[in-house]
Amino acid sequence: MINYKESKKAKNSVLSKSKVVTIPAVEEVKDSKGKVVQEKVNESSYDIIKITTKSYSPETGKAVADIVVEYPLNEVERMIENATDRIAEVTAEKEAWEAIKADFEALK
């Protein structure tokens, strides 16, 4: 993933919302006698996060096609949860090493 926070600050990335329709809506259709020949179907859809980032040629420095990355919201939520779990693990590891160091220094 790109470094979105810095890229946004540099005005190189833009975030937008896009809708993906998995089942289009269908209106109810009746025949001339009033009998339903096509039942109403509600639309089924979900939102995705779209990040568009400017891209430049490393040889010439000229702008090339933008890079577009899409993420379903549930994937972003899962990535946040995973990062939070990793932070907790690394914090516990750091605290263990600090305890070892503190106990060692207390021996002097």
Cα separation of 40 and 24, whole Å? Answer: 11
pLDDT tens per residue across span 72-92: 999 999 999 999 999 999 999
Residues above pLDDT 90, as percent of the chain: 79
- The number of helix segments (H) and strand segments (E) in the chain equals 2, 5
What average pLDDT does the structure give for the chain? Answer: 92
Q: 48, 21 in Cβ contact below 8 A?
A: no
Model-wide pTM > 0.75: no
- Alpha-carbon span 54 to 63, nearest angstrom: 7
Inform me whether the pLDDT recorded for 57 exceeds 80: yes
Name the residue among 21, 79, 73, 74 with its Cα closest to residue 49: 73
